[in-house]
């Protein structure tokens, strides 16, 4: 079963006037992982698709998505798949990939239908592509990584880069995830902006009793969204994106836009936040 929801882009002045319910309707994505279903959110922010697939005891095939305007979803797109569940299998382009928890699979443009099977919980990200790059399974051992932050500022963390120029080539997708150490809970603080790229977060490995407070908005007009485990949020190019949890968690970050330069950001000083 395939379900697709469309999210239209809005400007920061409009976002200033939204209440909690309206903010969640525009930026918060829940219910991604339902057994026996593929659920996609098609956004008008750089045409990023955010979704989930849980095949359970059967197979799920992602092929025609009417919102893309092509016969098959990857005819003019690339895709990254993160497995946040048990070991499962993804097949595309005549190849089959066994994915352990934490692995990321890149599928190049023209890979054809995508088949999901096994007990995996597959997080799906897709953006338009202008060229075909080789499909590749990237394990956590193969990812680029670096440790940053400090316990004193509650942001001691390791950043893993999977679909990233230091690991492999893609058109515009840049995907990785961040894991925290020893009681640290703050992500992406100090905050930043990158007007040339949108971003999407998936919060996972979060205890059901805990929450992440995700901060968004212009630096002088901040808002927040309360996130549960395995929920996602869309971050427009004009918005900050950072958060703090009431317990440990991991978050997957994914970007699409004009370039794949991870460091192409405008830092926001703490004194600028309101």
Residue 24 pLDDT more than 80?
Answer: yes
* Residue 134 domain boundaries: 2-272
Count the domains in the chain: 1
Mean per-residue pLDDT of the chain? 96
pLDDT of residue 201: 98
pLDDT of residue 263: 81
| Domain of residue 217, CATH code | 2.60.120.10
pLDDT of residue 16: 92
Residue 262 pLDDT more than 80?
Answer: no
Mean pLDDT across the stretch 194-209? 96
Residue of 235, 262, 248 lying closest to 26 (CA atoms): 235
User: CB–CB of 133/170 below 8 Å?
Assistant: yes
Residue 221 pLDDT more than 90?
Answer: yes
* Banded pLDDT at 189 (limits 50, 70, 90): confident
Number of C-beta neighbours around residue 148 at 10 A: 10
User: CB–CB of 74/110 below 8 Å?
Assistant: yes
CA distance 130 to 77: 8
pLDDT of residue 147: 96
224 is in an annotated binding site: no
> With a threshold of 0.95, does the pTM exceed it?
yes
| DSSP character string of 64-111 | --GGGTSSSTTSSEEEEEEE-SSSEEEEETTEEEEE-TT-EEEE-TT-
Residue 142 pLDDT more than 90?
Answer: yes
User: CB–CB of 206/245 below 8 Å?
Assistant: yes
Residue of 202, 203, 190 lying closest to 270 (CA atoms): 190
Q: What totals of helices (H) and strands (E) does the chain contain, helices first? A: 2, 24
28 is in an annotated binding site: no
CA distance 230 to 250: 10
Phi, psi dihedrals of residue 270, rounded to the nearest 5°: -60, -30
Q: What percent of the chain has pLDDT over 70?
A: 100
pLDDT of residue 166: 93
Q: Encode pLDDT of 86-132 as tens digits.
A: 999 999 999 999 999 999 999 999 999 999 999 999 999 999 999 99
241 is in an annotated binding site: yes
Residue 204 pLDDT more than 90?
Answer: yes
For residue 121, give both structure tokens: 């919980």
């Amino acid at each position: 079963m395939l379900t697709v929801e469309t999210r239209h882009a809005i400007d920061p002045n409009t976002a200033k006037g939204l209440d909690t319910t309206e903010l969640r309707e525009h930026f918060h994505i829940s219910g991604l992982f339902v057994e026996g279903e593929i659920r996609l959110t098609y956004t008008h922010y750089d045409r990023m698709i955010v979704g989930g697939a849980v095949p359970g005891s059967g197979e799920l095939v992602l092929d025609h998505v009417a919102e893309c305007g092509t016969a098959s979803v990857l005819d003019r797109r690339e895709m990254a798949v993160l497995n946040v569940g048990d070991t499962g299998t993804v097949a595309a382009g005549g190849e089959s990939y066994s994915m352990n928890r934490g692995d990321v699979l890149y599928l190049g443009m023209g890979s054809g239908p995508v088949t999901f099977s096994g007990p995996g919980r597959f997080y799906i990200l897709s953006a338009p592509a202008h060229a075909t790059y080789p499909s590749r399974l990237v394990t956590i051992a193969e990812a680029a990584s670096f440790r940053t932050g400090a316990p004193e500022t509650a942001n001691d963390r390791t950043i893993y880069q999977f679909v990233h120029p230091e690991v492999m080539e893609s058109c515009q997708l840049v995907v990785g995830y961040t894991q925290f150490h020893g009681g640290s809970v703050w992500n992406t603080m100090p905050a930043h902006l990158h007007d040339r790229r949108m971003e999407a977060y998936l919060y996972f490995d979060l205890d059901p009793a805990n929450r992440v407070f995700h901060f968004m908005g212009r630096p002088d007009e901040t808002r927040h969204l309360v996130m549960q485990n395995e929920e996602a949020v869309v971050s427009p190019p004009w918005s900050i994106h950072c958060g703090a949890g009431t317990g440990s968690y991991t978050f997957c970050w994914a970007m699409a836009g004009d370039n794949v330069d991870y460091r192409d950001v405008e830092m926001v000083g703490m004194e600028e936040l309101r």
